[in-house]
Amino acid sequence: MENILQEIGIDNYIYLSTLLFCVGAFGVLFRRNAIVMFMSIEIMLNAVNLLLVAFSTYHQDAAGQIFVFFSMAVAAAEVAVGLAILVAVYRNVKGIDIDNLKNLKG
């Protein structure tokens, strides 16, 4: 079984993941809508997952993929709880504009 990285190269995947991660980070900072910020975080998570799989292939080792599997489980849990929190917030303040949620002020 040949290694796909022989044709593409690990550095391409690194660049792709980096860019995807930066796009996610940008989205978190750029948007005010909490749900879209959530999506941006998912993009960042997926960038990392992609890199983990790439290195898993690079090392010809299953551990990276197992890790991604757990990461997905945690992401699913996180999304469930996070969205529940957002629903609760929405119910209280009638909106999920992050700039209006300033109760964290010290």
Q: Site residues for other proteins, window 20-49 (CB under 8 A)?
A: 20-33, 35-36, 38-40, 42-43, 46, 49
Number of residues counted as binding other proteins (CB under 8 A): 84
93 scored as a contact of other proteins (CB under 8 A) = no
- Does 84 contact other proteins by CB under 8 A? yes
Longest distance between any two alpha carbons in the chain, whole Å: 58
User: What's the min distance (Å) between Cβ of 8 and other proteins?
Assistant: 5
Q: Shortest distance, CB of residue 48 to other proteins, whole angstroms?
A: 11
CB atoms within 10 A of CB 99: 6
> Which H or E run contains 40?
helix 34-59
| Residue 20, C-beta contacts closer than 8 angstroms, at least 6 positions apart | 43, 44, 46, 47, 50
Residue 104 CB, shortest distance to other proteins, in Å, is 5
Helix/strand/coil for 103: coil
**Rule CB under 8 A: which of 2-21 touch other proteins?**
2-12, 14-16, 18-21
Q: How far apart are CA 98 and CA 65, in angstroms?
A: 34
Question: Judged by CB under 8 A, does residue 72 bind other proteins?
Answer: yes
